[in-house]
Amino acid sequence: MLSDPGEMTRIVKKAALYMGASAVGICKLDRRWIYSHRFDPRSLDHSAIDNIPDGFESAIVMLHEMDYTLMRTAPAYGENAATGRGYSTMAYVAASVAHFIRDLGYEAIPCGNDTALSIPMAVDAGLGELGRHGLLITPRFGPRVRISKVFTNLALVPDKPIEIGVREMCGVCGKCAKACPGQAISVDKPTMQGLTISNNHGIYKWYINPEKCFQFYVALRDPF
Ligand code: SF4
């Protein structure tokens, strides 16, 4: 069984790109980002979720580029095609990378939007910075990505967070906040306190209003 972390990191990253990831980074698995509870919208109950087992200390975080031309059609349905393809790619690539790691003799758990928050993991893995609009901004694709991740007990060498000037630019820009039709993006300075129950309070950042975003999105998709 291969075990050199540097060599294994090189191999796993190469495999992720071969499987179809647009970019890949590694971070230590920070358990603050893992979902602790599941919410049932029918019963309004919260139930605890089983933890990721001990020994899973690495996360492989992958970006999946969405088509530029189709994303420009948002909020028309062309954008839906790019988003749907992004979700399908996430599922295929994350499952394939997890399978590859299991074939090497280690354990691996693939996930998409489920199981843990993707954006802080992508930030930890050096794939981009958080923007005012609540999305990851990447050096190569901007915010036009979906994110998947694979948790593993294979020892890997983590990447470092990067600074590409997003915080500075968002501090003086604010165009997305002015243009947002749902008025869900903050026009104010970053804070530690979120706006609604859906925010993950206690982190210094721009908080979006997820309820406003979702209400606008639902009304748009189902105007009748
Ligand atoms: S503030 Fe400007 S740079 Fe930052 S996410 Fe919004 S539009 Fe993009």
pLDDT tens figures, 113-130: 999 999 999 999 999 999
Residue 222, pLDDT > 80, answer no
pLDDT in tens, 71-87: 999 888 899 999 999 99
Residues in contact with 90: Cβ distance below 8 Å, sequence separation at least 6, in sequence order? 62, 64, 112, 146, 147, 148
Alpha carbon of 158 to ligand 1 centroid (Å) = 28
Alpha carbon of 2 to ligand 1 centroid (Å) = 43
Q: Which residue has the higher pLDDT, 160 or 76?
A: 160
Pairing verdict, β 136-137 and 129-130: antiparallel
Atom of ligand 1 nearest to the CA of 135: 5
Distance of CA 124 to the CA centre of its chain: 11
Cβ(169) to ligand 1 under 6 A?
yes
The model's pTM is 0.94
Which of 71, 130, 135, 169, when mutated, tests ligand 1's pocket best, judged by the most ligand atoms within 8 Å of its CB? Answer: 169
Six token digits for residue 66: 């969405």
Query: How many residues belong to the chain?
Result: 224
Per-residue pLDDT band at 202 (split at 50, 70, 90)? very high
Alpha carbon of 64 to ligand 1 centroid (Å) = 20
- From CA 122, how far away is CA 129, in angstroms rounded? 8
Whether the CB-CB separation of 153 and 55 falls below 8 Å is answered with: yes
pLDDT in tens, 162-199: 999 999 999 999 999 999 999 999 999 999 999 998 89
Cβ(170) to ligand 1 under 6 A?
yes
Alpha carbon of 186 to ligand 1 centroid (Å) = 11
Alpha carbon of 17 to ligand 1 centroid (Å) = 28
Cβ(178) to ligand 1 under 6 A?
no
